[in-house]
Amino acid sequence: MPDELIYNVRSSCRSLIGRMLIRKLFKFENAHIVRNCTSDRCKRSIHGHSYKVELLLKANKLDHGQMVYDFGLLKGVIKELYDSFDHAICFWQDDSPEYIQACKQFSARWVSLPVSPSAEQFSRIFFYLAQQVLNSTITQNGEGDVEVYSVIVHETDTGYAQSFIEDIENPQMGQLHLQDIIFSEQVQTEWTDALMYEKLKQGNRFKNPQVEIGRASCRERV
C-alpha cells in the first residue's frame, strides 16, 4: 500500500477515535438533467431517480438519553428541507433560461441550485443544509459536539456519492451558500413554518424541546 494512502487511512481513523456515529435514512423522488456529463440521455433529457440519503452524525459524548442525537429531532427542520426535494425538479442556476423557465412553469415544486444536480453535488448540498441547521440549533438535553460526519446519496441501487467536510469546503467543487439554494413557493407553503428557511438564512436559532431529566426506578434490595 502506498505511503500516502496509508497516511490518509490512519488520519481518517484518528479523526473518529472517541467518536460515535449514527445514521438516519431519508428517501425522496426527484427529477433533473445533469449537464455536461458523458451520458447522452442524462445530459439531454429530464429523468428521475428514487433517492436514498444517509445522514451520518458524529459526537464524542452521549446526551442524557445516552444517544448521540435523538432520531426524533431529525424529523424537524432537516427532514423538512430534505423533503423539499421530493416530487420536485432540480435545476442548475446556470442552465439555459428557457429550460429554467419551463421547469418553473410546468412544475409547482422546484429547487434552484448553485451547482449541477448530480449525486455528488446532492451529497454536498444535503451535508451543507444539515450542517447549517445543526449550527443554528440550541440543544437542551446534554448533547455533545454533534456534527455531520458524512452524507451518502444513493442515486440508483448500484451507484452512490459520499461527501465529507473537506468536500463542502472545496471551492473547486463549487461554493455553497444558503441564499443560492432557492425553493419554489409551493415547496415553502408545505413547510410547517413557511418562514423556516428565511429564518435559517438570517441566522435565527432553532430550539430543541426541553427535556425533563428523570431517573429509572430500581427495586429495593430485600
- Residues with a catalytic annotation lie at 42, 87, 155
Please, which contacts does 88-91 make with residues 24 or more away whose CB atoms are closer than 8 Å? Answer: 88/30, 88/31, 88/184, 88/187, 89/30, 89/31, 89/32, 89/46, 90/30, 90/31, 90/32, 90/117, 91/32, 91/33, 91/117
Alpha helices in 20-174 (DSSP H): 40-44, 77-83, 97-106, 119-135, 165-168
Coil/strand/helix, residue 89:
strand
Question: Nearest 5°: phi and psi at 47?
Answer: -150, 165
Residue type for position 163: S
Q: How far is residue 221's CA from residue 97's CA, in Å, rounded to a whole number?
A: 76
Strands 88-92 and 110-113: parallel
DSSP state of 177: -
Residue 133: which of 189, 174, 185, 178 has the closest Cα? Answer: 178
Q: Which residue is it, cell 421547469?
A: 103
